[in-house]
């Protein structure tokens, strides 16, 4: 009965001491933390039931794994940050040039906007469909198109379209649904804290750099 009480007290002291050490060095060097916890365990272990030495080896292995993961996480964060900065610098040098951006909408302000799409197969009755924010659709017939690239200029004045944002899609008789690229001027690049960079392209507005399909150079 006395031995059991002694073991319980020893276990309680060990837990208390370990918690105290953890509280004192938490946030500090993990190696120092492990060393202090190990010393506390050895000092407060039950003499009648000493800890298995292999347990300390296991703890050391776990510590090594945690430190490796911490270093890897820190390196990845630094790499991502560096890549973002390089991306912003690269995009910054392209401000003022023409880019083609994959988009499901166009922003019309009275000026013509060039859009394009690629068909895998020839199709009849191809049409470009613009949808206003109120849900009204404007269907622009393009006729029969062969496989490959098609370019079209949306002229708001001739089409009677008021300024605003419009959803844009292509309808084909073959039911093909190609993505649409809007060509416009790269106006600026903005780095948002904790997020990916944001670019502003005329005819599109704000979008992600990953949406850029092509750099077209400066407008002549």
pLDDT at 196: 79
Asked whether the predicted pLDDT for residue 188 surpasses 60, the reply is yes
pLDDT at 219: 57
Asked whether the predicted pLDDT for residue 8 surpasses 50, the reply is no
pLDDT higher at 95 or 183: 183
State the pTM of this model: 0.62
* Average pLDDT of every residue of the chain: 79
Q: Are 164 and 113 in contact (CB under 8 A)?
A: no
- Alpha helix stretches (DSSP H) within 99-146: none
Give pLDDT tens digits for 111-149.
999 999 999 999 989 999 999 999 999 999 999 999 999
Pick the CATH number of 98-217 from 1.20.200.10, 2.60.40.4070, 3.40.50.300, 3.40.50.10440: 2.60.40.4070
**How far is it, in rounded angstroms, from Cα 138 to Cα 148?**
24
Asked whether the predicted pLDDT for residue 12 surpasses 90, the reply is no
């Amino acid at each position: 009965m006395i031995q059991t009480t002694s073991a319980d007290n020893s276990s309680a002291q060990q837990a208390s001491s370990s918690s105290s050490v953890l509280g004192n060095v938490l946030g500090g060097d993990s190696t120092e933390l492990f060393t202090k916890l190990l010393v506390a365990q050895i000092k407060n272990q039950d003499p009648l039931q000493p800890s298995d030495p292999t347990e300390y080896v296991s703890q050391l292995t776990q510590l090594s794994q945690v430190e490796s993961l911490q270093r890897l996480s820190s390196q990845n964060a630094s790499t991502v940050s560096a890549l973002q900065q390089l991306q912003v610098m690269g995009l910054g040098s392209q401000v003022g040039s023409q880019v083609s951006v994959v988009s499901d909408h166009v922003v019309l302000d009275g000026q013509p906007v060039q859009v394009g799409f690629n068909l895998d197969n020839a199709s009849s009755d191809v049409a470009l469909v613009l949808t206003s924010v109120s849900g009204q659709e404007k269907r622009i017939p393009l006729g029969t198109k062969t496989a490959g690239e098609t370019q079209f200029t949306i002229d708001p004045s001739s089409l009677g379209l008021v300024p605003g944002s419009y959803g844009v899609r292509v309808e084909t008789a073959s039911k093909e649904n190609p993505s649409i690229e809007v060509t416009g001027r790269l106006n600026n690049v903005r780095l948002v804290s904790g997020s990916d960079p944001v670019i502003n392209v005329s005819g599109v507005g704000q979008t992600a750099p990953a949406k850029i399909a092509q750099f077209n150079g400066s407008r002549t």
